[in-house]
Amino acid sequence: MCDLRVIDVLRLMLCAALLLAQALAVAGTAAELKILATDPAPDVLLARAQPFFVRFEVTSTTESVVSVSGRFNGAAAVDQGGVGAPALLKAGRDIGVVSLFYWGERPTRIDEVRLQIRDAHSGAPITEYAFPVSLTWLADDPPPRDPAAWVKEWQRTHAARGAGSAEKSAPGNAVWLALPAGVLIAALALFGLWWRRRARADDDAKHR
């Protein structure tokens, strides 16, 4: 009984040490966020599935990931909604863009946009930043709206990054695509060899 108690105490001490180390790591990570612009304005009517873009600046001691969500009356607005990919920011001072939208059959309203900053390596939350809005996504599809210049620039940059990633992965994809063909060719060659040997064996048997 005594040994079991000692083991339990040691386990509790180890868990406490791990929790303390994680808390200290998160506490030692500081991050500040500043909203630079939104597109469109934070108090307009939007078309169904029209993105609401947020441009911001983060000053952090480590690489961070920023995600966005919408809220209404304190609760997360998740009914038929979507968000853009989280923004990855470098340590120090960096600028990022995130977006969110809704496509419900009924109008969707939010009164707060919340940005959450996480450590890019551990995924641990660092801090959150929220700002009030008065946004409503309509259920119909009005004519498309021309985005702001900084949104277009951000879209071009991400499109270029995506093309570069595709080019880098193209040789690897070619290898993987070539593997089934190589396996098929090898299988056909082995089958042909086996068939010739079998035919030769049959001929020998007939001559005997």
Please report the DSSP string for 126-165 in residue order.
Answer: EEEEEEEEEEEE-SS-PPP-PPPHHHHHHHHHHHHHHHHH
Rounded CA-CA distance 79/104 in Å is 7
Instruction: Name the β-bridge partners of 96.
Output: 56
Residue 139's pLDDT is 86
Residue 167's pLDDT is 44
Residue 164's pLDDT is 53
Residue 15's pLDDT is 46
Residue 197's pLDDT is 61
| Closest among 116, 109, 94 to 42, alpha carbons compared | 109
Residue indicated by tokens 């020998």? 204
- Contact predicate 84/99, CB 8 Å: yes
Ranges of the chain with pLDDT below 70: 1-29, 142-143, 161-208
For the chain, domains (ranges, CATH) are 26-145 (2.60.40.2550)
- Look up the pTM and report it: 0.64
Please report the DSSP string for 44-75 in residue order.
Answer: SEE-TT--EEEEEEEEESS-EEEEEEEEETTE
